């Protein structure tokens, strides 16, 4: 058929989809309400279907019109309360709505589609309610007979006929509440700011046959509406404003270029920089859509599938308003659906099993989306049977996925992760639901393709949670630019876990061969290594050149992808850049190891490396990793270690700062540094960060003049301060047995020998205090009403840290009793002669660790004492343990500001009375 | 979009071809598929690409694949020279550059001047051609761009 006005048709399709996208959820809600009809809700659906019907009639889409009419009839009866919705009716209506969606998506061909059985069933409900029950039975039975293979349809149709026959009786006592899956979700018909105009997902299990004929043409007409998205006027306005700013910037640029000395060009450049960033963000916003567009199909999926499997399941959804990029939204639908189906199929038990296990008969699947650390997290939690690690290990061994020996070494958490292993299906028996050759490994691969990660956590008997982390967008990805041979490549930051630089003399010690494969010794474990030149077939570098160059270093990028972790040896490292991803042409898009291309600042094309592809190409398996045994070369046995950033001020002066206190590291041009009244500043975002130079505060050779410098940014009382670090060397874990004698100087915590270089460990806060005592003037001091200083009991086994903490705390007006371990501290406390106000304890200590110490204190007469735990890095499991034993606060060892603030809180109005509850740091 | 003799409006319909040299062979492609000709020499190599792919270039913000016609036609490789050009064709929704040794003229031909391709011309497979045309001075081999840029099942 010919539609005269294609624009009108496109509008009809877009509008109808809009209506239909809500209908499914609304119908499910109508079902859940049962006899307690929400007239407004029914009216809503009615109006939607009614306007589809009207427009279809106008456009001559007779089939659409007929089907919509059938639906409308029933809704009409429901809104006048003449008909009580039952599950069977809603079944019919849902299928009809699906069929309607198909017709709308293929509007051009819709008049040839056959919707007779839908219409017949709808009419049967309508007629049944009117009282023509006997006629209905025959009519529906014929319809049923035509439907060959759909068992469920048949069942529900028979159900329905029975109910239709007894409709009058049922109306009275609402007897038709047979065990039905209830579906609970916040299904308010919300208006999304940017609407997904993707077609509503077709029902996955039972697709009425008649609509299948229309499917082949789906692609052609679907394109019509998908090329447009809705954008909020506010976003559009801000885009317009920014475009104006951009024009202004260009004009200023041209003006500046026309002057002789290019006056003010820096200002213009920074302005353009800012506008471009904002423009990029605004444009990204137009691509953002709420994840609810994907979530909204799950109530139906859960309802249909649990009914089919004879299970009962609720679905609860949180965070439907969380925005993600359109491309991610489109790509995440299938993996999520698979995971939800998996949860019902394998997770939630049958009602009898659940009741026997003392759980409610109805299972719950909890979908939750939220933002976390600039990423989107989606959790899919069920309260089903959980995964038994032992069972899984046994199967993995049977299937030859891992050896029995490897299985023995796996922790429970690691064992549960085996479900993501290729070729591993957890189903005891293969069902047609999840045993379709699509395993969890495919889900994982698909999510990783999006730059995301997936993890699983399970409590046997209690349930399983799948956690997905996704980037906010795919179009622009932060990457590290590296060089191999003549070419530069981009590696997405999401894959990079750290950078390792080996000097020539270290190479023999750190590089090794295991079964002819090269490995890197990294903090006691062996990491598989690949050389990018070889991976990419560029051949070996000129050996003579590197042999003779004593400065030659080897740059290794430690990358992670899924379960693989390995090092890539590259020729050189360049900058970090936010790159715009461009697709590769069809001749090369299948090249292994590459995932796309980008255009660098100088106009050159750089290819983007696909870390997973390299792992596959080089056959780095996770088995490789498990084979990596612990080497004996751990970092100085007994003591703890801390992560430090190594840098040089003058090339001969080596320094380190603890990574725990570093907020971030910036790279700036030296001409960006302003000097105001003798204080150097750099503009960052909307504020200015004061800069410090080491040579101004401590004895150090002045830095050489450079065009670019790094700035180590840290926070003092909520204010950011930067330390200029001309050259960064490495980030490393070093032992804490710091020599505190040789370099006794304010601002220097001590010295270490790192790579044969004497390196001074800088105390950033002390440096800041030395340079600007006034910044610390208003720092809280303990109140000294009675003339007595608050008394702190400190337990810390590392001499270095003990001295640090002690001096830091004493300086702020406290008195400190320090003890070498938990047991000594406990015994000291037991003596009972001290009026301790607060306890500060390390966690890892010999004899009695921090947890045990705290437990003892909390169970003694000193249970009122606040206990602050010091950790080098706060881990979640530690924290949990800490809460259990009653630790009041956690602080990171080297974060002096926070520790002192916490101390002040606990002693502020004298110990005991003002205890705050634990705030995870 | 084949360059084959497809115009049904009559035997005298005229077709235009952009002609160029690869080695000493004079080749032509239907001018309607030609997007532009440039001489950008900054080609980024693509590891593991098929050997007829020279690399990729930045074509005003898009990444375009550069295909080495010599490799496709089975001719011996040669160095790029000052005459080397990228003939950018628009094919299946994508801009692809053909690396050619030298650009020649635009040739206007009547359909009846084009003869069907022989099985091969100087070792070049006839399947890659849509026809040949004998001029006074030379033979012009008209390429079938669909065949030349077919990405699957190319015999190496």
Give residue-wise pLDDT tens across range A200-248: 444 333 434 333 333 333 333 333 335 667 777 888 888 999 999 899 9
Option in B47, B94, B96 nearest A536 (CB): B47
Helix H or strand E segment including A237? helix A233-258
Beta strands in A801-876 (DSSP E): 815-819, 838-842, 867-871
Answer whether A587 sits within 8 Å of B53, measured CB to CB.
yes
Answer whether A487 sits within 8 Å of B56, measured CB to CB.
no
pLDDT at A641: 66
Which residue in B53, B63, B92, B154 has the most chain A C-beta atoms within 10 A of its own C-beta, making it the best mutation to test that interface? Answer: B63
Answer whether A594 sits within 8 Å of B46, measured CB to CB.
yes
Provide the pLDDT confidence category of residue A407 given band limits of 50, 70 and 90: confident
Answer whether 0.80 is exceeded by the pTM: no
User: Which of B92, B64, B82, B83 is closest to B148 using CA atoms?
Assistant: B92
Answer whether A584 sits within 8 Å of B65, measured CB to CB.
yes
Answer whether A587 sits within 8 Å of B67, measured CB to CB.
yes
- Extract the tokens encoding B4: 């084959």
Answer whether B42 sits within 8 Å of A603, measured CB to CB.
yes
Which residue in A568, A585, A597 has the most chain B C-beta atoms within 10 A of its own C-beta, making it the best mutation to test that interface? Answer: A585
pLDDT in tens, A791-842: 889 988 877 778 778 887 887 788 888 888 888 888 888 887 888 888 998 8
Provide the pLDDT confidence category of residue A517 given band limits of 50, 70 and 90: confident
Q: Is A603 on the interface with B (CB under 8 A)?
A: yes
Taking the C-alpha atoms of residue A289 and residue A326, their distance in angstroms, rounded to an integer, is 6
Taking the C-alpha atoms of residue A637 and residue A126, their distance in angstroms, rounded to an integer, is 80
Contact A382, A348 (CB under 8 A): yes
**Cβ under 8 Å to B: A residues 483-502:** 486-487
> Above 60 in pLDDT, residue A894?
yes
Q: Is A507 on the interface with B (CB under 8 A)?
A: no
Taking the C-alpha atoms of residue A479 and residue A489, their distance in angstroms, rounded to an integer, is 9
Contact A791, A829 (CB under 8 A): no
- B82-105 average pLDDT score: 90
pLDDT at A24: 82
User: Which of A93, A225, A100 is closest to A160 using CA atoms?
Assistant: A93
Contact A784, A810 (CB under 8 A): no
Answer whether A587 sits within 8 Å of B50, measured CB to CB.
yes
Answer whether B47 sits within 8 Å of A594, measured CB to CB.
yes
Answer whether B44 sits within 8 Å of A604, measured CB to CB.
yes
Residue A740: what are its φ and ψ, rounded to 5°? -100, 5
pLDDT at A438: 54
| Residue contacts between A and B (CB atoms, under 8 Å) | 72
Q: Is A597 on the interface with B (CB under 8 A)?
A: yes
> Above 70 in pLDDT, residue A188?
no
pLDDT in tens, A598-609: 988 888 899 999
Answer whether B151 sits within 8 Å of A586, measured CB to CB.
yes
pLDDT at A130: 56
Diameter over CA atoms, chain B? 48
Instruction: Please classify residue A374 by burial: count the beta carbons closer than 10 Å to its beta carbon, then call 0-12 exposed, 13-18 middle and 19+ buried.
Output: exposed
- Give the end-to-end CA distance of chain A in Å, rounded to a whole number: 66
- Of residues A371 and B68, which shows the higher confidence score? B68
Provide the pLDDT confidence category of residue B32 given band limits of 50, 70 and 90: very high
Cα→Cα distances A635→A67, A507, A527, Å? 73, 17, 16
Helix and strand element counts for chain B (H, E): 2, 12
> Above 90 in pLDDT, residue B19?
yes
- Give the distance from residue A583's alpha carbon to the nearest chain B alpha carbon, in angstroms: 7
Q: Is A591 on the interface with B (CB under 8 A)?
A: yes
- Extract the tokens encoding A458: 């399970």
Provide the pLDDT confidence category of residue A174 given band limits of 50, 70 and 90: very low
Option in B52, B63, B67 nearest A582 (CB): B63
> Above 80 in pLDDT, residue B127?
yes
Diameter over CA atoms, chain A? 102
Residues from chain A contacting residue B86 (CB–CB below 8 Å) = none
Cα→Cα distances A55→A20, A115, A485, Å? 14, 18, 63
> Above 50 in pLDDT, residue B98?
yes
> Above 70 in pLDDT, residue A617?
yes
Residues from chain B contacting residue A538 (CB–CB below 8 Å) = 47
Q: How many residues are recorded in chain B?
A: 156
Sequence-distant (6+) residues with CB within 8 A of A521 are A509, A510, A511, A512, A527, A631, A633
Helix H or strand E segment including A766? helix A764-771
Taking the C-alpha atoms of residue A890 and residue A878, their distance in angstroms, rounded to an integer, is 10
Answer whether A588 sits within 8 Å of B65, measured CB to CB.
yes
Contact A84, A54 (CB under 8 A): no
> Above 90 in pLDDT, residue A460?
no
> Above 70 in pLDDT, residue A907?
yes
* Lowest pLDDT segment from A42-56, A96-110, A532-546: A532-546
DSSP H helices, A358-511, are 389-398, 404-409, 412-416, 440-449, 504-510
Taking the C-alpha atoms of residue A530 and residue A720, their distance in angstroms, rounded to an integer, is 40
Measured between CA atoms, the residue of chain B closest to residue A606 is B44
Kindly provide the b/e burial profile for residues A673-686, where b requires at least 16 CB atoms within 10 angstroms of the residue's own CB: beeeeeebbbebee
Contact A750, A758 (CB under 8 A): no
- A487-506 average pLDDT score: 85
Contact A523, A732 (CB under 8 A): no
The interface predicted TM-score of the complex, written ipTM, equals 0.85
Contact A769, A776 (CB under 8 A): yes
pLDDT in tens, A673-728: 888 877 888 887 677 888 888 888 888 888 877 778 888 888 776 678 888 888 88
CA quadruple A738, A660, A676, A725: dihedral positive or negative?
Answer: positive
Answer whether B44 sits within 8 Å of A594, measured CB to CB.
no
pLDDT in tens, A625-649: 433 333 333 333 334 567 788 888 8
How far does CA A24 lie from the centroid of its chain? 29
pLDDT at A621: 57
Taking the C-alpha atoms of residue B141 and residue B145, their distance in angstroms, rounded to an integer, is 12
Kindly provide the b/e burial profile for residues A717-731, where b requires at least 16 CB atoms within 10 angstroms of the residue's own CB: eeebbbbbbbbebbb
> Above 80 in pLDDT, residue A116?
yes
Averaged pLDDT score across all residues of chain A: 75
The region that residue A596 occupies, defined by phi over 0 for left and psi between -120 and 50 for alpha, beta otherwise, is left
Which residue in A475, A588, A597 has the most chain B C-beta atoms within 10 A of its own C-beta, making it the best mutation to test that interface? Answer: A588
Helix, strand, coil percent content, chain A, rounded in steps of 5: 45, 25, 35
Taking the C-alpha atoms of residue A828 and residue A822, their distance in angstroms, rounded to an integer, is 10
- Give the distance from residue A891's alpha carbon to the nearest chain B alpha carbon, in angstroms: 49
């Amino acid at each position: 058929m010919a539609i005269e006005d294609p624009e009108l048709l496109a509008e009809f399709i877009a509008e109808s989809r809009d209506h239909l996208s809500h209908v499914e959820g609304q119908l499910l809600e109508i079902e859940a309400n049962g006899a307690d009809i929400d007239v407004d809700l029914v009216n809503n659906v009615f109006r939607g279907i009614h306007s589809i019907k009207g427009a279809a009639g106008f456009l001559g889409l007779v089939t659409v019109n007929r089907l919509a009419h059938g639906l409308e009839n029933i809704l009409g009866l429901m809104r006048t309360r003449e008909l009580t919705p039952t599950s069977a009716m809603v079944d019919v209506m849902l299928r009809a709505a699906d069929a309607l969606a198909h017709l709308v998506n293929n509007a051009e061909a819709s008049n040839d589609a056959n919707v007779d059985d839908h219409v017949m069933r709808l009419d049967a409900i309508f007629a049944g309610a009117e009282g023509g029950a006997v006629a209905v039975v025959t009519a529906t039975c014929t319809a049923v007979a035509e439907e060959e293979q759909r068992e469920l349809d048949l069942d529900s149709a028979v159900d329905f006929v029975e109910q239709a026959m007894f409709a009058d009786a049922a109306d009275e006592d609402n007897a038709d509440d047979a065990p039905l899956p209830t579906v609970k979700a916040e299904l308010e018909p919300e208006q999304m700011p940017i609407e997904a105009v993707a077609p509503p997902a077709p029902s996955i299990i039972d697709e009425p046959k008649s609509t299948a004929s229309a499917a082949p043409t789906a692609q052609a007409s679907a394109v019509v509406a998908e090329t447009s998205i809705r954008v909020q006027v506010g976003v559009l306005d801000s885009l317009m404003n920014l475009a104006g700013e951009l024009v202004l910037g260009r004009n200023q640029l041209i003006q500046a270029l026309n002057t002789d000395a290019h006056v003010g060009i820096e200002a213009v450049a920074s302005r353009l920089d800012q506008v471009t960033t904002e423009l990029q963000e605004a444009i990204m916003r137009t691509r953002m859509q709420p994840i609810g567009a994907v979530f909204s199909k799950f109530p139906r999926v859960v309802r249909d599938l649990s009914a089919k499997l004879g299970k009962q399941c609720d679905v609860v959804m949180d965070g439907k308003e969380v925005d993600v990029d359109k491309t991610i939204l489109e790509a995440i639908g299938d993996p999520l659906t698979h995971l939800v189906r998996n949860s019902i199929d394998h997770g939630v038990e049958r009602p009898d099993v659940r009741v026997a296990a003392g759980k409610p008969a109805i299972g719950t699947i909890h979908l939750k989306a939220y933002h976390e650390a600039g990423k989107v997290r989606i959790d899919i939690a069920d309260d089903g049977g959980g995964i038994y690690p032992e069972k899984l290990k046994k199967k993995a061994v049977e299937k030859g996925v891992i050896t029995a020996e490897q299985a023995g070494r796996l922790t429970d958490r690691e064992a549960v992760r085996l479900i993501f292993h290729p070729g591993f299906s957890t189903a005891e028996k293969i069902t047609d639901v999840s045993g379709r050759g699509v395993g969890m490994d495919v889900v994982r691969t698909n999510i990783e393709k999006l730059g995301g990660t997936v993890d699983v956590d399970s409590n046997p008997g209690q349930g399983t949670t799948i956690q997905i982390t996704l980037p906010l967008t795919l179009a622009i990805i932060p990457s590290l630019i590296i060089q191999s041979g003549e070419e530069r490549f981009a590696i997405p930051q999401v894959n990079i876990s750290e950078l390792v630089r080996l000097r020539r003399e270290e190479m023999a010690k750190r590089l090794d061969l295991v079964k002819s494969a090269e490995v890197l010794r990294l903090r006691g474990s062996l990491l598989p290594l690949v050389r990018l030149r070889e991976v990419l077939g560029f051949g070996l570098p000129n050996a003579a050149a590197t042999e003779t160059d004593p400065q030659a270093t080897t740059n290794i990028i430690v990358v992670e992808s899924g379960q693989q972790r390995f090092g890539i040896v590259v020729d050189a490292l360049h900058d970090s850049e936010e790159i715009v991803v461009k697709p590769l042409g069809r001749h090369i898009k299948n090249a292994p190891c590459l995932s796309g291309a980008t255009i660098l600042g100088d106009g050159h094309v750089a290819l983007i490396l696909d870390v997973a592809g390299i792992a596959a190409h080089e056959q780095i398996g996770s088995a490789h990793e498990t084979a990596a045994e612990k080497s004996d070369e751990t970092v100085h046995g007994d003591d703890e270690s801390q992560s430090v950033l190594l840098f040089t001020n003058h090339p001969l002066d080596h320094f380190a700062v603890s990574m725990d206190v570093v907020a971030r590291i910036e790279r700036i041009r030296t001409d960006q540094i302003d000097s105001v009244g003798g204080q150097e500043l750099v503009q960052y975002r909307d504020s200015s960060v004061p800069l410090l130079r080491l040579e101004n505060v401590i004895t150090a050779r002045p830095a050489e003049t450079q065009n670019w410098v790094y700035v180590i940014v840290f926070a003092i009382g909520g204010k950011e301060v930067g330390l200029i670090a001309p050259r960064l060397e490495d980030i490393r874990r070093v032992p804490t047995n710091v020599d505190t004698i040789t370099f006794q100087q304010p601002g220097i915590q001590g010295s270490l020998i790192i790579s044969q270089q004497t390196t001074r460990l800088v105390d950033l806060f002390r440096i800041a205090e030395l340079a600007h005592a006034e910044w610390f003037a208003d720092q809280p001091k303990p109140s000294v009403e009675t003339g007595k200083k608050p008394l702190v009991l400190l337990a810390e086994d590392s001499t270095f840290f003990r001295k640090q903490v002690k001096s830091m705390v004493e300086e702020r007006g406290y008195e400190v009793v320090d003890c070498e371990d938990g047991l000594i501290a406990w015994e000291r406390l037991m003596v009972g002669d001290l009026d301790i106000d607060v306890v500060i304890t390390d966690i890892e200590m010999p004899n009695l660790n921090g947890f045990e110490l705290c437990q003892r204190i909390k169970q003694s007469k000193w249970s009122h004492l606040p206990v602050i735990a010091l950790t080098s890095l706060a881990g979640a499991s530690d924290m949990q343990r800490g809460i259990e034993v009653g630790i009041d606060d956690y602080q990171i060892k080297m974060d002096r500001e926070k520790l002192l603030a916490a101390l002040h809180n606990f002693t502020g109005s004298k110990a005991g009375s003002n205890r705050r509850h634990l705030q995870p740091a | 979009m084949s360059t084959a003799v497809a115009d049904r409006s009559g035997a005298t319909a005229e077709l235009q071809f952009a002609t160029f040299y690869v080695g000493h062979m004079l080749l032509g492609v239907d001018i309607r598929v030609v997007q532009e000709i440039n001489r950008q020499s900054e080609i980024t190599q693509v590891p593991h690409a098929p050997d007829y792919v020279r690399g990729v270039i930045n074509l005003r913000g898009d990444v375009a694949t550069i295909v080495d016609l010599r490799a496709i036609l089975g001719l011996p490789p040669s160095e790029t020279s000052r005459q080397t050009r990228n003939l950018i064709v628009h094919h299946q929704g994508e801009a692809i550059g053909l690396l050619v040794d030298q650009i020649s003229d635009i040739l206007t031909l009547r359909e009846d001047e084009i003869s069907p391709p022989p099985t091969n011309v100087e070792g070049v497979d006839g399947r890659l051609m849509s026809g040949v045309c004998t001029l006074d001075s030379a033979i012009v081999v008209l390429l079938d761009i669909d065949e030349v840029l077919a990405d699957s099942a190319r015999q190496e």
